[in-house]
Structure 1
Amino acid sequence: MRKRRDSLSSVVAKDIAERIGSGEYAVGDKLPIEAQLGDTYNVSRTVVREAIAHLRSEGLVESRQGVGVFVSGQNGTILKLSSDKVGELDEILEILELRLGVEVEASGLAAQRRSDAELLIIMEIIEESSDLAKFTENPREMDFAFHMAIAEATGNSYMPRFLSFIGPVIIPRSQLIHATVPELTREYLAKMNDEHRRIADAIARRDVLDAREAMRFHLVGSLERYRKLKTG
């Protein structure tokens, strides 16, 4: 199922990229909203978000706070990950440390600045991942969608660009996930969703301090699990 989800988002991203390349979507044009793209490609909003995240990481589109997604004049991102390192344990630890420095503040900004529409997206992802059967099928994609939705709600256009940049390693490879959690049990996924919900609830209340603390707790837990894996 995960392979199919990856394939669907790649197909959508490729088609949109081709439309941009052909001039159907010109620089400065606004892309259709998520619901319209979902109908066009007969996919869920989660798949659309993954496709847009990929296009953003390639510098083809950019998000504008409260307005939408637009075709960018850029030809690519400034930052790139080395493909031969993606998913290595040392790099995952470094990325998690980097995320702590960025996403804790991002949660606070989201609590301070989010719109009702942006909060709705965050809460929709929470509700979708509450279906543990669905969460088990796509844990990496749904986790990434949650963090990206918070980045979009910060009002800082570089926050989603940052997550797009580290997208390949924001959620570690499946073999490392299973090394830290031998089985993606319902209990483990429920705990992850509870941590996400605490972050989302703080953002909903516009509680900046609690949003930051909830995100810190969430990311530190992941960081400690991978540090233990490295020390064996």
Structure 2
Amino acid sequence: MAQIRRAPLADQAAEALLVRIRAGEWPLGAKLPGETTLGPQLGVGRSTVREAIRQLAGRGVLESRQGAGVFVTALDVTEDWDAVLRRAGIISVIEARIAIEAEAAAHAAERRTPQALRAVRRALAERQDQRGSTEEQVDADMRLHRAIVAAADNPVLLELFDTFVPRLRQAMVDMLRIGRNLAEEQDHAAHADLVEAIAARDAAAAHRLSRTHLASLKDALK
């Protein structure tokens, strides 16, 4: 007969601390009491308190500052990003693309190096020559858009895009499979115009063209 296993003490202590943070016992930015105070309150030892704090720090709720103590940096655990993306609908995905990619396109126009521009042009040519499966077409499109984001020279934007790609890719595959896409020539022209704006260092045009193109994908779903 299978035994019911209790959660480890550190997990229980972390949950108890989280409940108290959610209840407002310690506001955002507040310093937590020391381990010698929290331990008796939670009914655990100091090592268990340290592990509970480490868990909540890893989840973005607490931050340990050397020589200063432990501070509240969030009032709840943020939902797992991958779970959010898996649940998101195609329109939500495209709206997020607009937020990330239009800004990245403007920065790319301002900051792109000759090497980055060559990578963008190469990805554009590969995208336009792609005649494979739906998945291969989407992958070629993703490579172009990633090259543009990389040209923006902002590691945070690039990290956001890379984290976003699996759900983004699936959304684009779904769109093509249900026939909700722009005419092929018009679509290629939109991408070519965007690349030329980046080459010309026209940040305003790059931002506008990126936003207009992605908004047209969103409108096609309505």
Instruction: Please give the alpha-carbon distance, in whole angstroms, between the structure 2 residues aligned to 1:136 and 1:189.
Output: 13
Instruction: Please give the alpha-carbon distance, in whole angstroms, between the structure 2 residues aligned to 1:205 and 1:135.
Output: 33
Q: What are structure 2's unaligned runs of at least 5 residues?
A: 1-78
Instruction: Please give the alpha-carbon distance, in whole angstroms, between the structure 2 residues aligned to 1:211 and 1:79.
Output: 32
User: Residue deviations 1:12-62, cap 9 Å, x none?
Assistant: xxxxxxxxxxxxxxxxxxxxxxxxxxxxxxxxxxxxxxxxxxxxxxxxxxx
Q: Aligned partner of 1:198: which letter?
A: D
Aligned residues of 1:125 and 1:146 also touching (Cα < 8 A): yes
For residue 219 of structure 2, the aligned residue among 211, 220, 224 is: 224
Q: Aligned partner of 2:176: which letter?
A: I
For residue 108 of structure 2, the aligned residue among 101, 106, 110 is: 110
Distance 1:207 1:130, change over 3 A: same
Number of the residue aligned with 2:167: 169
Instruction: Please give the alpha-carbon distance, in whole angstroms, between the structure 2 residues aligned to 1:135 and 1:116.
Output: 32
The alignment covers a number of residue pairs equal to: 143
Instruction: Please give the alpha-carbon distance, in whole angstroms, between the structure 2 residues aligned to 1:157 and 1:79.
Output: 21
For residue 189 of structure 2, the aligned residue among 194, 197, 213 is: 194
Q: Aligned partner of 2:115: which letter?
A: A
Instruction: Please give the alpha-carbon distance, in whole angstroms, between the structure 1 residues aligned to 2:114 and 2:183.
Output: 30
For residue 147 of structure 1, the aligned residue among 140, 145, 148 is: 145
Question: How far does residue 109 in structure 1 lie from its aligned partner after superposition?
Answer: 0.3
Aligned residues of 2:127 and 2:144 also touching (Cα < 8 A): no
Instruction: Please give the alpha-carbon distance, in whole angstroms, between the structure 2 residues aligned to 1:135 and 1:218.
Output: 22
TM-score, reference length from structure 1: 0.55
Q: Aligned partner of 1:147: which letter?
A: H
Question: How far does residue 144 in structure 1 lie from its aligned partner after superposition?
Answer: 0.7
Instruction: Please give the alpha-carbon distance, in whole angstroms, between the structure 2 residues aligned to 1:220 and 1:191.
Output: 14
Number of the residue aligned with 2:93: 95
Instruction: Please give the alpha-carbon distance, in whole angstroms, between the structure 2 residues aligned to 1:193 and 1:135.
Output: 17
Distance 1:136 1:179, change over 3 A: closer
Distance 1:173 1:149, change over 3 A: closer
TM-score, reference length from structure 2: 0.58
How is 1:205-220 mapped onto 2 (pairs within 5 angstroms)?
A: 205-220=200-215
- Could you say which structure has the larger radius of gyration? 2
How is 1:20-31 mapped onto 2 (pairs within 5 angstroms)?
A: none
Distance 1:79 1:157, change over 3 A: farther
Instruction: Please give the alpha-carbon distance, in whole angstroms, between the structure 2 residues aligned to 1:93 and 1:145.
Output: 21
Q: Percent identity?
A: 23
Question: How far does residue 79 in structure 1 lie from its aligned partner after superposition?
Answer: 6.0
Number of the residue aligned with 1:179: 178
Question: How far does residue 99 in structure 1 lie from its aligned partner after superposition?
Answer: 1.7
Instruction: Please give the alpha-carbon distance, in whole angstroms, between the structure 1 residues aligned to 2:133 and 2:115.
Output: 23
Instruction: Please give the alpha-carbon distance, in whole angstroms, between the structure 2 residues aligned to 1:212 and 1:204.
Output: 13
Q: Aligned partner of 1:140: which letter?
A: V
Q: Aligned partner of 1:194: which letter?
A: A
* Structure 1 moving runs of 4+ over 4 Å: 134-137
